[in-house]
Structures are given as C-alpha cells and as structure tokens.
Amino acid sequence: GIYVFFGTSKGQVHAVHVSTQKIVCSVKLSSSTVNTISRNPRGTDIVTNSSDRILRVCQVVLPAEEGSGSALGGNTMPAKLEPSISATTKIQDIVNRVHWIQAVFSSSGDYIVSGIEHKAEHNIYVWDKFSGSLVKMLTGPNELLEDFAVHPLRPIYASISTFGIIYLWTRVPQQNWNAFAPGFRELEENVDFVEPEDQFDRRITMQNGSIVDCAEDRILREKRAANAAVEGDMDIDVDITDDDPLFSDSDSETSDDGFLLSVAVDCDENLLPPTVTPSSAAVVAASEMEASAVEQGTTIIES
C-alpha cells in the first residue's frame, strides 16, 4: 500500500508514492492507451493491457519504507538500487489480433490470464509469464465475456457473460484406477463384451469344499495325453472315465462304484473247517430211493 500505479493515454505507466503524492518513477511502454494494470500478489512485477492489443509484463523495482520489505513484497531492496519499471515480456495473439478485456496474474504468479473482447466468443487465455507462449485456451459458450476474476490461492477462475451467467473454471483431477486395481484397463469409449462359453464354469466347488478350475484341469489332461501319444507309451483305460461335472447328466449327487474285479485270496488250509465227504454206499441208497419215489409219484423231503 505504499505506491499506486496508473497508466495514461500516451502509453506511460507512473508509480506514485501515497504519502508524498509524488511520481517516483515512470516508463513509456507504447504510444497506445493503457487500459488496465494488475499487480502480481506473489512477486514484484505488473502486467498492463494496452489498446495496441499487446500485454506487457513489467518488472518493478521501488524503494521500501524503513523496517519493511520491498514495495511489492519480497526482500528489502538495496539502498543504492534506483527505482525503475522495465518491460520484460510482450504477449499478443498474432493470428487473431483480438482485443483484451483485462489481464491478471494467476494464483501462483507464474501465468498471465486474459479474456478476449468478442461478441460471439467466451474464451480465456492462459500465457506463460516468462516466455510469453500460450499454455491453455479455455473455450466457453457463444456469449460475450464481460469480466472475469482469479482465485487468490487456488487454480479457479470465474467469468460472467453478457446474459448475467457466471461460469467457474477449474482443473478436473485425473483418477488413476491402476493404483487401486493393478489389472484395471480404462476404456475411452464403450466396447461390446463377448461372453466366453466357460465364463461362469471355470471354477466349481466340490462336495468336500475344494475348488476345481475346470479349464486348467482340462488343459493339463490334454497336455498329458499329447505327451504320452508322442512318447508312444499311452495306456488306454476303457473301464474308468473322468467325472467331469460340466458335462454330467446325472441328477444323483453320488457317483457309482464302477466295475469291480474278483480277487483271489490265499488262506492257510489249517485254519479252514474240516470237510465231510459222504460214503459211496449212502450215495447209492439215496439215488435208489429217489428213483422209486419218482415211479410211485411220492415226494421226498430232505432234512
């Protein structure tokens, strides 16, 4: 609050001390009228908007009061340094040659934000303060831009159109889902999903609680069969079939025991019970009695 800056219709910029009301220093930037002047809240420079459609960034060096910092913030200016205002960067739209409503510094102080004066455009330009190159152009609706303002701390802009509508401009943060899901793939547009035949049949929970991956199991069996066929020692099993739950048409939860082969058991003969052999006379008598019974028509009951 020590100095006041103002521009004249002859393209001059003056710095006036508030207490003494004397011009400390002045500079002639051009022969066109200086329309607006904005100060950098985070530096010692100003930006001017002239009628020649050129934005000029000027470095300001002014003496400060005793016991305070420099006039525009920062470190104290050396006593031998003379006050001065010098233009460092010129900014203009060479292609369109548009008029500027005003130009201000961004919240960080490293960029120049300007708005164009056009009846059918609502555009805001962001320039690099040091190189004067265009960094970003914010395109709005087809409405006349009346005025705009910059947030002092955050990268947020507010503009008002000729219809009284206020627009807010800010940067939308990019969400990186790969940091949360490593296998996630982002799509720029909708893609038709083709469901595989075994989409929901790959993993099956068995009765004992184990999980079987049918796709991996089928691939392993095919590889084993192919390797055995190449080596020529593949055993053909015709009695046992694989129980694949995917292609089973049985409603029962339990599987059959399958075909059982007879097994010969070797036992000690001393442990077996004694064998009774009938005599030959008894066998002959029994056969004669049976023959006579058949002739007479009687029935023999064996006990």
What three-state secondary structure class fits 19? coil
pLDDT tens per residue, range 108-148: 889 999 998 888 888 999 999 998 899 999 998 888 898 89
pLDDT at 273: 62
Whether pLDDT at 292 is above 50:
yes
Unique residue bearing structure tokens 């807010």? 168
- Which residues, in sequence order, are bridge partners of residue 55? 49, 91
pLDDT, residue 221, reads 77
Helix (H) or strand (E) segment spanning residue 225: helix 214-231
Rounded to whole angstroms, the Cα distance separating 115 from 123 reads: 6
Q: Tens of pLDDT along 59-116?
A: 988 776 554 455 555 544 555 566 788 889 999 888 888 889 989 999 888 999 999 8
**Contact predicate 25/32, CB 8 Å:** no
Share of the chain above pLDDT 70, in %: 65
| Residues near 26 by beta carbon (within 8 Å), at least 6 away in sequence | 12, 13, 14, 15, 85
pLDDT of residue 125: 92
Residue 294 amino acid letter: V
Each residue's pLDDT tens digit, 199-243: 666 666 666 777 666 666 677 777 777 777 666 655 555 555 555
Looking at residue 268, its pLDDT comes to: 64
Mean pLDDT, the chain, rounded, equals 76
The count of C-alpha atoms lying within 13 angstroms of the C-alpha of 124, restricted to the half-sphere facing its C-beta, is: 27
Strand order in the sheet with 157-161: 145-150, 157-161, 166-169
Question: H/E element holding 284?
Answer: helix 280-296
Lowest pLDDT segment from 277-281, 283-287, 297-301: 297-301
Q: Where are the beta strands (DSSP E) in 3-144?
A: 3-7, 12-17, 23-28, 34-39, 45-50, 55-61, 84-91, 100-105, 111-116, 123-128, 134-139
> Is the separation of the CB atoms in 33 and 12 below 8 Å?
no
Residue 241: the pLDDT is 54
Q: Is the pTM of this model over 0.85?
A: no
The pLDDT value given to residue 75: 45
Among 13-27, 65-79, 174-188, top mean pLDDT goes to: 13-27
- Using a 10 angstrom Cβ sphere, with 0-12 exposed, 13-18 middle and 19 or more buried, the burial of residue 164 is exposed
Neighbours of 242 (CB within 10 A): 9
109 touches 40 (CB < 8 A): yes
Contact by Cβ (8 Å): 33, 48 = no
Q: Report the distance separating Cα 249 and Cα 251, nearest Å.
A: 7
Q: Residues 120-124: contacts with CB within 8 Å, 24+ apart?
A: 120/144, 121/145, 122/159, 122/161, 122/167, 124/148, 124/157, 124/159, 124/169
Query: In sequence order, what are the beta bridge partners of 60?
Result: 85
